[in-house]
Structure 1
Amino acid sequence: MGLVSRHAFSHAPSAGRRTSASVPLALLMLLFGTAAHADPLLDRYVTEALASNSALQAQHFAVEAALQGLSAARGKRGPTVTLNARYTAAEGGRVIELPTGDLVNPVYQTLNQLTAGSANPTAFPQIDNTDIALVRRREQDTRLSFAAPLYAPEIDAEVHLRAAQLEGSQATREAYARALVRDVKTAYLRAVAADAGVQVLEASRASLQANLRVAQALVAAGKATRDQGLRAEAELLDIEQRLNTARNEARAARRFLNLLRNQDENTPVDVRVDTTEPLGDGSAPASSRPELRQLDAQIDEAEGARKLARAAYQPVLAVVADAGIQGVEYGSGRDPDVATVSLVLKWTLLDFGTRRAAVSRAAAQANQLKALRQDVQRQLALARANAADRVQTTADSLSTAAARRAAAEESLRIAERKRDAGQLSQAEFIDAERSATAARMGLLLAGTEQRIAAAELEFTEARFPLPAVLSGVSP
């Protein structure tokens, strides 16, 4: 979009020597500048919004989270090594009593009695019963555990699902970025239009101020009645009121543009354009809408969920190896060393329909998303057709508005000459001024709407060349 500087409106000659065509000529440069010049300011604002918009930053974090989820799923394919250590101090617990003393003491006593008085008497001691504590008072178990899946179809299904989620989050981010570009362009055009509208009304105010001076001079000379001066003053006050409203709208437009750029609401917004810059189209060839790719990813995600649910019907086989030490205390000897190797099979044989319901649910979600995609595709095609029609309609309206502006400007020039010659009433001149101001505003509005329609068409065709980070593909 190309716009002239505000200075094009600020050097209007005084009312007595003023040429009414000066403002419309600037407006024509404003409205048709895109045919020959680029707008580096708009490019800068779009770049700033893509780099700092808070909502888009949130989408970046969503993509990062999905990427890490995919990495975690892929990591399950590899082995894991875990250090497990346990040191236990216990008191009490169950005790097993062995009656060893009750069993052997009578025998020992009998033998001692039989050999008493012999040459070799025996002296077997009395033995207490044995108590075995099932809970050790002190115990440690420290080992390294190695586990690796040998056959685990659920892992591949989860990787597929996480990859689809990443694709969906990337498409969501791109869709938001393209909408942000459109909104920034629209907000900028609204700001430019509001600023230019203020300048149009300021030019009209200058003309009406000159008209008020002429009316007051005629009244003072006795060539006009006092009502003509009052009419001129009332019209000037009306323009002043419209100017206040237009300035408020211009400030609101700037605040909204700053919001999209994640800037303070009072940050200055420049709408001047370096018209020496050649226009670059800046649009890439039309590509598929990210909304459709987002739905494709969601369909793929639902298919991944179905595969994950079906994988639960199959067994999981893994190898697990442990190596470590056990004992009462930590030591360096070989006696407490322990090592085991196991093949672990897990196979759910009966779950009362839980897996079947999960498969059916995922299939239903996939079918729902496929039907939704067809509807969204038709809606996007309709939006594109409407945007193309709007571009053509606004182009036609712009031509009509330009012709209307030219006619109104010529009528105002003739009215100025007649008024200065005393051949035109105050009411007739004010009507001519009103028509000229309305025509200028109409031309400004038509030009703005045409550029907004072009931005909308660019959005519906996904043609804006986004940075690579916003349109990347899944790893």
Structure 2
Amino acid sequence: MRRKMILLLAIAASVYGQSLSWSQGALEGYVRQGLDSNLVLRQRSVQLEKALLTLSTAKSNFLPSVNFNASYTTAEGGRYSELPVGDMLNPVYSTLNQMTGSNAFPQIENQQINFLPTNFYDTYIRTSMPLLNMDIIANKRIQQQKVELSSLDMQVYARELVKNIKVAYYQVIMASKLVSVYESNQKVLEQNVALNEALIKQGKGLKVTLVKAQTELMKMNTSISTAKNQLKNAQAWFNFLINKPLDSEIVLEEIAGINAQLEAKEKREEIQLINQSIEVQESVLKMNKNFWVPKINAFLDLGSQGTNWEVSRKSAYYMFGVSASIPIYNGSRNQQQIKQTKYELENARLQLDQVEQQLELQRTQALRNVLNAQENWETAKIQLEASKEYFALVSGANREGLTSQLEFLDASNQVTNAELFVLIQYQNYLSSLAELERAAATYPLKFN
């Protein structure tokens, strides 16, 4: 299929001597302006920045975290423990006093130790760091893939925007030329009305012929008014796409100077987008399968604790620890998540096959449409030349009074319709080129 595509493109270039993508001055400037300022594209750019920020957050999970912690507690009552130090030491102290003949060893009372601390403080700086956590590793990989997804999503919309801007520009050109065609025909009809008025004054014309000529002129005036309204709507739509005031002036240029570019993009962004989605699902599946891997963390506390706000070398302390969490049973939820992810992965792969076929069909149809539009445009130009020759003959005969008014108006309408047909086929041809450029993804995207 790809070889057929390239072969058809080569035939098109050799037969018609024209290409499938091009760059014009004014239009190219408008396209760049649209890519820089289109509101929807700017929203997609914000989403990309958000994805990059999320990725930075995921990377930071590998770094240690440092926190300052402080607590103060005081209590009375509650559970306590009796410590009979008086019963144990007082007999000994009495004996010593007798032996020394002094009171150097006073009597002491039994002690009561409460479990709840009184005026106790604890301040410390805790540094913690994950040693093994498969969720963090998988999350970083997934966020990297999501950044790529956001970037590809921007490119998909940008290509569609480029096509829409070009088609809208061609519509403005056609609407402008349509007004010119109608105004040119209006002058012919005005001359015809003046001629019939002159013939009536000379006694050679008929009132019914003049009325017919005036009626055709009024119809043309209505057509001009409608065409001008279409032109304003086309201009407003074009300015909307490039995020400019709707009534901004548009520089119109003839579309010419086409450079051949036959090779289509190897992989369109839509395909890359689905491939990236598949990679995300594979990362999620891998993460779900690693649910049994323990999560191991280490921490180090440096601080001071004591009572009555005492701070000394004895109150300072450090504490180091390692913790591990190993899943044992959670109602088979992990296995269910694994199955669900497998289904989503299979669905994404099927979608990839379908989209590849659709895009290949789109490229082939777009190329055939270009060839058909080119042929129709050439035929329309030949018909226009024939209509002009016929009108020239009839117009000359009409001035000599050798033809009927009906035949003259019919010849005039033939020229107008032929000119309109050329415009329509010309726009179809340019629009089909824009469609093919979109289908082949050949426009060079560049973002600021």
The two structures have a TM-score, normalised by structure 1, of: 0.82
Whole-angstrom CA distance in 1 between matches of 2:220 and 2:395: 18
Structure 2 SS opposite 1:424: coil
Q: How does 1:439-454 map to 2 (within 5 A)?
A: 439-454=418-433
Residue of structure 2 equivalent to 1:58: 43
Deviation, 1:87, is: 3.4
Per the alignment, do residues 97 and 346 of structure 1 end up closer, same or farther by CA in structure 2, a change over 3 Å counting?
closer
Q: How does 1:62-461 map to 2 (within 5 A)?
A: 62-78=47-63, 80-88=64-72, 90=74, 94=78, 96=80, 98=82, 127=109, 130=112, 132=114, 134-143=116-125, 145-272=126-253, 279-280=258-259, 286-328=265-307, 333-461=312-440
Structure 1 SS opposite 2:114: strand
Structure 1 SS opposite 2:299: strand
Deviation digits for residues 91-114 of structure 1 (CA, Å, limit 9, x no counterpart): 6673526486xx959x989x99xx
Whole-angstrom CA distance in 2 between matches of 1:133 and 1:148: 33
Query: Residue 41 of structure 2 aligns to which amino acid in structure 1?
Result: L
Structure 1 SS opposite 2:123: strand
Whole-angstrom CA distance in 2 between matches of 1:330 and 1:104: 29
Whole-angstrom CA distance in 2 between matches of 1:336 and 1:428: 115
Structure 2 unpaired stretches of 5+: 1-16
Per the alignment, do residues 120 and 127 of structure 1 end up closer, same or farther by CA in structure 2, a change over 3 Å counting?
same
Query: Residue 387 of structure 2 aligns to which amino acid in structure 1?
Result: A
CA contact (8 A) 1:41 1:273 kept: no
Whole-angstrom CA distance in 2 between matches of 1:407 and 1:34: 28
Whole-angstrom CA distance in 1 between matches of 2:320 and 2:83: 39
CA contact (8 A) 1:190 1:448 kept: yes
CA contact (8 A) 2:298 2:321 kept: yes
Deviation digits for residues 15-52 of structure 1 (CA, Å, limit 9, x no counterpart): xxxxxxxxxxxxxxxxx9999x9631100110000000
Whole-angstrom CA distance in 2 between matches of 1:86 and 1:176: 52
Per the alignment, do residues 315 and 414 of structure 1 end up closer, same or farther by CA in structure 2, a change over 3 Å counting?
same
Deviation, 1:329, is: 6.3
Residue of structure 1 equivalent to 2:11: none
Structure 1 unpaired stretches of 5+: 1-31, 470-475
Whole-angstrom CA distance in 1 between matches of 2:149 and 2:105: 89
Structure 2 SS opposite 1:263: coil
CA contact (8 A) 1:76 1:155 kept: yes
Deviation digits for residues 323-342 of structure 1 (CA, Å, limit 9, x no counterpart): 22223466663222111222
Deviation, 1:449, is: 0.5
Whole-angstrom CA distance in 2 between matches of 1:226 and 1:417: 21
Whole-angstrom CA distance in 1 between matches of 2:236 and 2:83: 93
Whole-angstrom CA distance in 1 between matches of 2:306 and 2:218: 99
Structure 2 SS opposite 1:312: helix
Deviation, 1:404, is: 1.1
Cα RMSD, aligned residues only? 3.1
Residue of structure 2 equivalent to 1:48: 33
CA contact (8 A) 2:18 2:258 kept: no
Per the alignment, do residues 58 and 330 of structure 1 end up closer, same or farther by CA in structure 2, a change over 3 Å counting?
farther
Deviation, 1:280, is: 4.8
Residue of structure 1 equivalent to 2:4: none
Residue of structure 1 equivalent to 2:10: none
Structure 1 SS opposite 2:245: coil
Deviation, 1:316, is: 2.0
Whole-angstrom CA distance in 2 between matches of 1:141 and 1:171: 50
Deviation, 1:396, is: 1.3
Deviation, 1:395, is: 1.0
CA contact (8 A) 2:18 2:259 kept: no
Deviation digits for residues 202-247 of structure 1 (CA, Å, limit 9, x no counterpart): 1011111111101111112111110111111110110111111111
CA contact (8 A) 2:47 2:150 kept: yes
Whole-angstrom CA distance in 1 between matches of 2:317 and 2:104: 44
Deviation, 1:136, is: 3.1
Whole-angstrom CA distance in 1 between matches of 2:309 and 2:246: 67
Deviation, 1:264, is: 1.5
CA contact (8 A) 1:288 1:461 kept: no
Whole-angstrom CA distance in 2 between matches of 1:293 and 1:262: 29
Whole-angstrom CA distance in 2 between matches of 1:70 and 1:170: 13
Structure 1 SS opposite 2:27: helix
Query: Residue 224 of structure 1 aligns to which amino acid in structure 2?
Result: G
Per the alignment, do residues 142 and 159 of structure 1 end up closer, same or farther by CA in structure 2, a change over 3 Å counting?
same
CA contact (8 A) 1:141 1:327 kept: no
Per the alignment, do residues 329 and 84 of structure 1 end up closer, same or farther by CA in structure 2, a change over 3 Å counting?
farther
Query: Residue 299 of structure 1 aligns to which amino acid in structure 2?
Result: I
Q: Which moved more, 1:49-58 or 1:156-165?
A: 156-165
CA contact (8 A) 2:391 2:411 kept: yes
Deviation, 1:318, is: 2.8
The two structures have a TM-score, normalised by structure 2, of: 0.86
Residue of structure 2 equivalent to 1:5: none
Q: How many residues align?
A: 425
CA contact (8 A) 1:40 1:273 kept: no
CA contact (8 A) 2:166 2:431 kept: yes
Deviation digits for residues 423-469 of structure 1 (CA, Å, limit 9, x no counterpart): 11111111111110000010011011000000000100100011166
Q: Which moved more, 1:190-199 or 1:380-389?
A: 380-389
Residue of structure 2 equivalent to 1:18: none
Structure 2 SS opposite 1:324: strand
CA contact (8 A) 1:312 1:355 kept: yes
Whole-angstrom CA distance in 2 between matches of 1:391 and 1:329: 89
